[in-house]
Amino acid sequence: MKFPGRSLRFAAAALAALFTVSCASTGSASGPETAHPEKRLKVALYLDSGSSGNGVYHWIRLISHAPQLELHGVNGTDVRAGKLAGMDVLVMPGGKSPRQYKSLREEGARKVHEFVRSGGAYIGTCAGMACTLDDPERLKLLPFNRKPRSGGAKAVLTVEFSEAGAKVLDIAPGRYRVRYSGGPIPIPGKEIDGGSGETLAVYRNTVSYVNKPEGNFFGEAAMIFGQLGKGKVIAAGFHPEYWESTYPIVAGCFYAVTGVKPVFAFPRTDSRPIRVGYWASGFPDARRIEIMLALDRCPEADLRIVSSHQADLGELRHLDALVVAGDPAGVGKKTLRGKYLQEQLTAFMERGGAVFVSESCAGSVPAHRNKIELPEGADFVAPVLKRFAR
C-alpha cells in the first residue's frame, strides 16, 4: 500500500496496527444478529491524505477488536483501482475533507459512488460526514448541503436521537454526550437521483469560536442517514469512536448500513497495571498532593486525574479504583454530592470498582460494600495494592 509522502510516518504506524491479529473473544449483542467470524464484514478504512487525528487510531482499534469485522486499509490509489469492489463497508474518518477528496480524485469519487449504488455501505465521521454532502469537491452521497459558516471549536456536546433515529441504529433514544471537533452542519439540499436522506439526531447544545456567533447550531443535524441506489450511507458530525460511552453509536452505524451489529471486545490481561483515578476537585493542599504523587510513583498503578468533567465523559468506566483524599475547603465534597455523580459512583462500585475515601469526605460517597474509608493521615497506596493484588 502506498501513501503520500507527508503521511508516511502516520501510515507506517497505522499499517502495523491493521494487520495485528485480534484476540477479542466473540460475543453476542441483544437485538440484531451478529455475524460469525467466518462471515466477517470487510471494512475499508480510508488512510490517505486528509484522514488524520486520533480518530483514525480509534477506528483501527475498534474494528480490529470486533470479531464481526475484518479491517482493510485503503488509499486513493486503491479506490481508483477498484479495490472497494470486494469490500462491504467504507469508513471515512475525520481529518480534512478537501484533502480526502483531493487524494481520491474525481475518478476515486466516482468509484465510491459506484460502490455505494451497487450495495456497498458508507460510514463517515466529522470530515467523513463533510465528504457525503452535495458541495464542491465532496462525494455527494446524501441530499444535504453544508450550512454556511457553520462549525465551532472542539467541545463536548449533547446529541439527541429521536425514536425513529434510534431505531435505525438499534440504540436507546435520548441524549448522548459526544466529542465534537468542528464537524460540518448539514442542511437539506437538492435531491440526488436514486437517493434519499433523513436526520437521525440533532445537537442539544452548541459551541462557537469567540466573536463568531455563526457557530451556534442548537437543534441542527448531528447525524444523517440515507439510501443511494442499493447502498446505505450514515454520517456523524461528531466522533462516536473516541469514547467507550459512545461505542454503541458506532456499533449502531454498522447496523444501520449493513444489518450487522458488531461487538467490540477488548481482552483483559493480568499484566496490565491497576487503573487508579485520583479525584482532583477540591483544594490541592500539601497532603492531597503528597497522596497523588505517591500513587503516581507506584509502578503497579496507572494514575488518571479525574474531575467531575471527566466523570461525565465516562472516565469511571475505565478505572479499577477511585481515590478521594481529604478536602479541607469542601469543594470536592460538594461536587461529589451531585445527583448524577452519585449515580455514577454507585454504578462504578456495582461494577466492582472500589472507592478509597478519607474520613472527611466519606459522607459524600454513597454507602456500598466497595467503599473503603481511611483515616485522614492514612497511606492510600498500600490499601489499593492489597485490594487489587494479583
Note whether residue 299 is domain-resident: yes
Per residue in 37-82, pLDDT (tens digit) is 457 999 999 988 888 877 887 898 889 889 999 999 999 999 999 9
Note whether residue 268 is domain-resident: no
DSSP at 242: S
Which residue bears the cell 469508513? 91
Q: Write down the pLDDT at residue 333.
A: 59
CB 84 within 8 A of CB 30: no
- Residue at which a domain ends, from 258, 284, 312: 258
If asked whether residues 230 and 355 sit together in one domain, one would say: no
Q: How confident is the model at residue 242 (pLDDT cuts 50, 70, 90)?
A: confident
If asked whether residues 22 and 113 sit together in one domain, one would say: yes
Other C-beta atoms closer than 10 Å to the C-beta of 153 total: 13
Joined together, the cell numbers standing for residue 186 give 448539514
Range of the domain at 352: 274-387
Q: Is the pLDDT of residue 35 over 70?
A: no
Per residue in 128-187, pLDDT (tens digit) is 999 999 877 788 899 999 988 777 777 888 999 999 999 999 999 999 999 898 899 999
If asked whether residues 230 and 297 sit together in one domain, one would say: no
If asked whether residues 129 and 231 sit together in one domain, one would say: yes
If asked whether residues 229 and 338 sit together in one domain, one would say: no
Alpha helices in 74-160 (DSSP H): 76-80, 97-117, 127-130
- Residue at which a domain ends, from 207, 226, 258: 258
Note whether residue 53 is domain-resident: yes
Tell me which residue of 94, 121, 152 sits closest to 225, measured CA to CA: 121
Note whether residue 20 is domain-resident: yes
Which residue bears the cell 471486545? 265
Q: How far is CA 59 from CA 100, 141, 371, 385, in A?
A: 16, 21, 36, 34
If asked whether residues 183 and 330 sit together in one domain, one would say: no
Joined together, the cell numbers standing for residue 112 give 465510491
Note whether residue 265 is domain-resident: no
Q: Is the pLDDT of residue 237 over 90?
A: yes
Q: How far is CA 213 from CA 134, 195, 216, 302, 386, in A?
A: 24, 33, 6, 41, 53
Structure-model confidence comparison of residues 305 and 103, the more confident one: 103
Note whether residue 120 is domain-resident: yes
If asked whether residues 173 and 32 sit together in one domain, one would say: yes
Q: Which helix (H) or strand (E) holds 58?
A: helix 54-64
CB neighbour list of residue 281: distance below 8 Å, 6 or more residues apart: 307, 308, 327, 331, 332, 335, 336
Structure-model confidence comparison of residues 38 and 341, the more confident one: 341
Q: Write down the pLDDT at residue 209.
A: 60
| Residue 180, phi then psi, degrees to nearest 5 | -115, 140
- Residue at which a domain ends, from 258, 287, 305: 258
If asked whether residues 249 and 307 sit together in one domain, one would say: no
Note whether residue 95 is domain-resident: yes
Query: The whole model's pTM is what?
Result: 0.66
If asked whether residues 213 and 345 sit together in one domain, one would say: no
Note whether residue 269 is domain-resident: no
If asked whether residues 156 and 200 sit together in one domain, one would say: yes
What CATH number does the domain containing 340 carry? 3.40.50.2300
If asked whether residues 288 and 205 sit together in one domain, one would say: no
Q: Write down the pLDDT at residue 325.
A: 87
Query: What distance in Å separates the CA atoms of residue 243 and residue 309, rounded to the nearest whole number?
Result: 14
If asked whether residues 84 and 217 sit together in one domain, one would say: yes
Query: What distance in Å separates the CA atoms of residue 91 and residue 131, rounded to the nearest whole number?
Result: 11
CB 77 within 8 A of CB 2: yes
What CATH number does the domain containing 89 carry? 3.40.50.880
Q: How confident is the model at residue 273 (pLDDT cuts 50, 70, 90)?
A: confident
> What average pLDDT does the structure give for the chain?
83
Structure-model confidence comparison of residues 193 and 5, the more confident one: 193
**Residue type for position 367:** A
Query: What distance in Å separates the CA atoms of residue 46 and residue 50, rounded to the nearest whole number?
Result: 9
Other C-beta atoms closer than 10 Å to the C-beta of 133 total: 25
CB 90 within 8 A of CB 121: yes
Tally of structural domains, the chain? 2
